[in-house]
Amino acid sequence: MTLHLTQISLTHANGVQALRGVDLHIGAREQVAIIGPSGAGKSSLLNLLATALRPGDGELQVLGERAWQLSAGQRQRLRARIGLIHQSPPLPPRQRVVTAVLAGKLGQWGLGKSLLNLLYPLDIPGARAALARLDLSDKLFTQCQQLSGGQLQRVGIARVLYQAPEVLLADEPVSAMDPVLAKHTLSVLCSHAREHNVTLVASLHAVELALAHFSRIIGLRDGQILFDLPASAVDRELLDTLYANEQLERSPPPPAHLSVQIPRC
Amino acid sequence: MLTSGSRDPAVLPRLLLTLLAIALLWPGIHYSELDLSVLIASDSRSEMGRFVSAFWPPAHDETFIELLLQATLQTLAIATAGMALALLLAIPASLLASRALSLSAASRAGRPSYWGQLLRWPVRGLLIFLRSVPEIVWALLFVRAVGLGPTAGVLAIAITYSGMLGKVYAEIFESVDQRPAHTLLQSGSGRLAAFCYGILPNVSAELLSYTVYRWECAIRASVVMGFVGAGGLGQQMDLSLRMFAGGEVASLLLTFLVLVLLADQLSRLLRWRLT
């Protein structure tokens, strides 16, 4: 079992209960899509699987290790084997694309190599190859602030592809792309996962894309798993229950607090 | 009539804050014995007038210019060497004191663990101690220890400025978007690497401008410390003032103006290159 969740609950700092009593088992090389209305806990679940959030209750095993019983150093080494694609990848605006992509391997490089790479990109062909799969190799030396939302998403994907993790998690990886590009990008992700024996878990808001590319679909609603079925067994009725009254759902938790006050002298 | 629906809930706090500011300002004026009428009194006016009228023309004979150049170079050297020493202490201290490198914050929605916060306090305390003693006091202390001369000025600047730089650097690191660094920490990178890739690109312009501004302050501070015998333009200024040589004072003041102007242009140039 690659990912093993037992009775996981998660409450955010603002008191919103994101997940309640989730049991989930995902084996190696499986390709799983998570669908559900906004605020259902899709992002929370993926962040939890990536060990970016600590569960309040329950047990989480990733790649056979109990992530939160490890020491900080061991957990960092475990994290280097997990890749999380963010919906809007947080990249420094003035960082060049090549640096942003090569940063994927920071967990595997030592400090000396990381700092040297900041002065001169050490693996330009590697970054170019990762970007080329997403049709973005011409933007190698552009600053991130000059890219559109969809291009930034592809840079974020290229970083994780370059990281070459054993578990690939993707939080709405194609939300800012047009339908053709979204389809292409998802098939790149799926074929990468197949070629490298990677476990792939992606949350998607487009149900058709999920059904077309993934063999196993998990429906998440109100922090609980509503259904966990093969794609062929998901029908209209199930989807209607999943998305019932979507307009009435509460909005997702607000973004992280940011202050820009800098005292001088 | 104001009903509860149309009232701005921020009105009362704002009003109270304004009143508080005024209430704090009055005793300030009282205790600082501020009395602007002395400026208009005729005898003090003529006294100031005589002093200022001696400023023209600024001294420009060859020996004085040579002395001025040497003093300027010494002042620049004191400020630069002091800043370099200060940075040696300020950079590691700011990294230790800042929440930006907190590993626990990355998995706790930006809030570091209580242990981490507790361990940051000694570093903060050290920075507070370093900057709470004014550089002039350090200079007086070092003049006793190492004798008259620029060394005392360099050490005094190094100590006080490492406290200021460390504090403000730490706050600059915390003031920008932390998510890039958190993302890197969550994918297994080390703290320092995550800092260099996630935070540094966002703060470099701000850091640079603050450092150049502090360098400018160090030039001024080294001038003040010259009065207590720490060399440079200040020592020259002290001598000229004692001898009532208004022309020399004017030349020295003009030199300050040029130095500050240069620092300003340098900061602008560096910021323009970086943004």
B35 within domain boundaries = no
The percent of residues above 90 in pLDDT, for chain A, comes to: 64
Alpha-carbon A209 to chain mean position: 16
Which residues of chain A form beta strands (DSSP E)?
3-11, 17-26, 31-35, 57-62, 65-66, 82-85, 167-171, 199-203, 216-221, 224-230
Distance from CA of B162 to the nearest CA of A (A): 12
Locate the domains of chain A by residue range. 3-81+165-246, 90-157
Which of A84, A93, A118 shows the shortest C-beta gap to B186? A84
| B91 lies within 8 A of chain A by CB | no
Residue position matching structure tokens 């450092």: B211
Averaged over A234-242, what is the pLDDT? 87
B8 within domain boundaries = no
pLDDT score of B30: 81
Decide: B194 and A106 in contact? Cβ < 8 Å: yes
pLDDT score of A250: 47
User: How many C-beta atoms surround the C-beta of residue A187 within 10 A?
Assistant: 12
DSSP secondary structure of A154-194: HHHHHHHHHH--SEEEEESTTTTS-HHHHHHHHHHHHHHHH
Task: Report whether pLDDT(A252) > 60.
Answer: no
| CATH number of the domain residue B224 falls in | 1.10.3720.10
Q: Which residues of A fall within a CB distance of 8 Å from B109?
A: 12-13, 53, 256
Distance CA B109, CA B57 (A): 64
Distance from CA of A162 to the nearest CA of B (A): 12
Task: Report whether pLDDT(B3) > 60.
Answer: no
> Mind listing the pLDDT tens digit for each residue in B238-269?
888 888 888 888 888 899 889 889 888 988 88
> Mind listing the pLDDT tens digit for each residue in A1-28?
689 999 999 988 888 888 998 999 999 9
Task: Report whether pLDDT(A255) > 60.
Answer: no
Decide: B97 and B167 in contact? Cβ < 8 Å: yes
- The least confident of A164-173, B4-13, B101-110 is B101-110
Please provide residue B222's backbone torsions phi and psi, each rounded to the nearest 5 degrees: -65, -30
> Mind listing the pLDDT tens digit for each residue in B11-35?
899 999 999 998 888 888 888 887 7
Which of B193, B198, B210 shows the shortest C-beta gap to A111? B193
Q: Which residues of B fall within a CB distance of 8 Å from A258?
A: 177
- Residue of chain A whose alpha carbon sits nearest to that of B186: A52
Task: Report whether pLDDT(A254) > 60.
Answer: no
Distance CA A249, CA A258 (A): 26
Contact call for B184 and A50, based on CB within 8 A: no
Q: Which residues of A fall within a CB distance of 8 Å from B176?
A: 260
Q: What is the mean pLDDT of chain B?
A: 86
Task: Report whether pLDDT(A112) > 80.
Answer: yes
Q: Which residues of A fall within a CB distance of 8 Å from B197?
A: 92, 95, 99, 103, 106, 114, 118
| B172 lies within 8 A of chain A by CB | yes
B32 within domain boundaries = no
Distance from CA of B199 to the nearest CA of A (A): 8
B183 within domain boundaries = yes
Distance from CA of A77 to the nearest CA of B (A): 6
Distance from CA of A186 to the nearest CA of B (A): 21
| B192 lies within 8 A of chain A by CB | yes
| B108 lies within 8 A of chain A by CB | yes
Number of H helices, E strands in chain B: 12, 0
B135: enclosing H helix or E strand: helix B135-146
Contact call for B188 and A81, based on CB within 8 A: yes
- The least confident of A183-187, B85-89, B216-220 is B216-220
- Residue of chain B whose alpha carbon sits nearest to that of A156: B183
pLDDT score of B246: 83
B43 within domain boundaries = no
> A246: pLDDT confidence band, cut at 50, 70 and 90?
low
CATH of domain A3-81+165-246: 3.40.50.300
Task: Report whether pLDDT(B124) > 70.
Answer: yes
The percent of residues above 70 in pLDDT, for chain B, comes to: 97
Report how many domains make up chain B: 1
Task: Report whether pLDDT(B110) > 80.
Answer: no
- The least confident of A166-180, B63-77, B110-124 is B110-124
Task: Report whether pLDDT(B38) > 80.
Answer: no
Task: Report whether pLDDT(A139) > 50.
Answer: yes
Which of A52, A53, A261 shows the shortest C-beta gap to B175? A261
B175 within domain boundaries = yes
User: How many C-beta atoms surround the C-beta of residue B193 within 10 A?
Assistant: 24
B77 within domain boundaries = yes
